Amino acid sequence: MRARHTVHIQRPEPERSRLHPVGSTRKRSAAIDGLRVLGIVAIVAGHVWSDRSNDLARMGLYTWHVPVFFFLSGYLWAHDRSLGVEFGKRVRTLLVPYGAWLLLIGAVYGAYLWANAQTLHVGNVLLGGSYMGAPFFAFWFVTALFGACLLLRALQRFPVWLPWAIANAGLAVAYLAPAALTAVPFSLGVAVPAMIFILAGMLFRRIAPKLKKWVAVALLAGSAALVVTGLAHPLDMKQGDFGTPVISVMVASAISAGLVLLLERMFAATTPRAARFVTGAATIGLAVVFTHSAVILALSIIAGDLPSVLQFVIVLLVSWSLAYLVSRTPLGSVFTGAGAAPRIRRPGAG
């Protein structure tokens, strides 16, 4: 009787076997990869424009650009995977690139500071998470995602209500005492409430095939209205800020769900060449997440205060070009977390 009420026995739809994250040798969805690329572009844009105190950018981007990656982890969740397999996979795809870029960027930045009679705060860098400053702004996200996935995997043997209860308890702490979450190294405290988005993605995966085409528009339009009117404040998960209690989490999940539906429809008629390009960009996208803050910092040192649009374009081009070049080296998988090149599935393909 107990097994019927656990997360473990929730079976994915048949289509799930063709939707796998970075590094899989199975078929993967060009639409989901397109959403990954969109999310990475939004993260870069958020760091470019938020540094200029742009409230519009925070409203339009911070509400969803990080939650969507947790949501996709739930949407693609493999329910029959063991904790050991999950650990090994997440170490390879998340922690190994984390360590590689931490050492490389830390060495270069440390040398620059030393040449300018300054020192790198090694202790803060080693603690990760909210303790990190430039040029490590986005590193927290990777360890938080790692922690959230491992925690949920460890809980899948228990009744289905328990992960939801723990995630909501984490949200309560975030609303009442966010500093308690951010004080935990590597943003592992933030990982607990962030698990709510993985659970939302899992739930959405079960109902997505039954939804009509207009639902995507309704989800995105309704969410936009709540954000614009100020009823749903933006999230800043790194700082333990989950926005307006309950509403912002629901809006972030709704936007993520709406984008999944929208991109599945948009990519239904895409060409194989376009699908391969998008998937290629998504496969090396983690390297962009790690490096773009360093590129932003380097630009500010070299070129001063560039126009924001020009800075955004340069950061995207340099970060993705660097990721591509690194991916072509023998250490490509170390820095990108990607394994063998996957086969690509377009939405609607068999």
Q: Examine the pLDDT at 21 and tell me if it is beyond 90.
A: no
Residue range 32-45: mean pLDDT, rounded: 96
CA 128 and chain centroid, separation: 17
| 184: number of Cβ within 10 Å | 19
User: Using an 8 Å Cβ cutoff, are 194 and 142 in contact?
Assistant: no
- Total count of domains within the chain: 1
User: First vs last Cα of the chain: how many Å apart?
Assistant: 36
Cα–Cα distance measured from residue 302 to residue 314, given in angstroms and rounded to the nearest whole number:
13
> Is the pLDDT reported for residue 277 higher than 70?
yes
| Token digits of residue 8 | 């473990």
Cβ neighbours around 53 below 10 Å, total: 8
pLDDT of residue 58: 83
Ranges 20-24, 155-159, 168-172, 177-181: which has the least confidence: 20-24
More confident residue, 235 or 348: 235
Mean pLDDT within 209-224 = 94
Query: Does 204 fall in a domain?
Result: yes
The SS3 assignment for 135 reads coil
Across the range 317-326, mean pLDDT stands at 97
Span 228-267, pLDDT tens digits: 999 999 999 999 999 999 999 999 999 999 999 999 999 9
Structural domain harbouring 51: 2-13+28-339
Q: What is the pLDDT of residue 5?
A: 45
Q: What's the mean per-residue pLDDT of the chain?
A: 88
Q: 304 — phi, psi (to 5°)?
A: 75, -145
Q: What is the pLDDT of residues 163-181, one digit of tens each?
A: 999 999 999 999 999 999 9
- Over range 15-42, report the average pLDDT: 69
Report whether pLDDT(192) > 70. Answer: yes
Residue 344: inside a domain, yes or no? no
Q: What is the pLDDT of residues 86-143, one digit of tens each?
A: 999 999 999 999 999 999 999 999 999 999 999 999 999 999 999 998 899 999 999 9
pTM attached to this predicted model: 0.88
Residue type, 217: V
pLDDT value at 323 more than 90:
yes
Categorize the per-residue pLDDT at 49 as very low, low, confident or very high, splitting at 50, 70 and 90.
confident
Give the pLDDT band of residue 51 (cuts 50, 70, 90). Answer: low
**CA separation for the pair 275, 310 (Å, rounded):** 27
Whether residue 269 lies inside any domain: the answer is: yes
What percent of the chain lies above the pLDDT cut of 70?
A: 88
Length of the chain: 350
* Number of DSSP helices (H) and strands (E) in the chain, helices first: 16, 2
Confidence of residue 345 (pLDDT cuts 50, 70, 90): low
Residue 20 lies in a domain: no
Instruction: Please tell me the distance from the alpha carbon of residue 35 to that of residue 56, in angstroms, as a whole number.
Output: 21
In a domain, 113, yes or no: yes
- Domain for residue 349, yes or no? no
**Cα dist from 247 to 55, 201, 260, whole Å:** 19, 17, 20
What type of residue is 315?
V
Per-residue pLDDT band for 305 (boundaries 50, 70, 90) equals: confident
pLDDT band of 12, cuts 50, 70, 90: very low
Name the band, by pLDDT with cuts 50, 70 and 90, for residue 57. confident
The answer to the question of residue 78 being in a domain is yes
| CB neighbour list of residue 232: distance below 8 Å, 6 or more residues apart | 63, 223, 226, 243, 244, 247, 248, 250, 251
Q: DSSP class of residue 62?
A: I
The CB density around residue 247, as the number of other CB atoms within 10 Å, is: 14
Q: Mean per-residue pLDDT for 256-282? A: 93
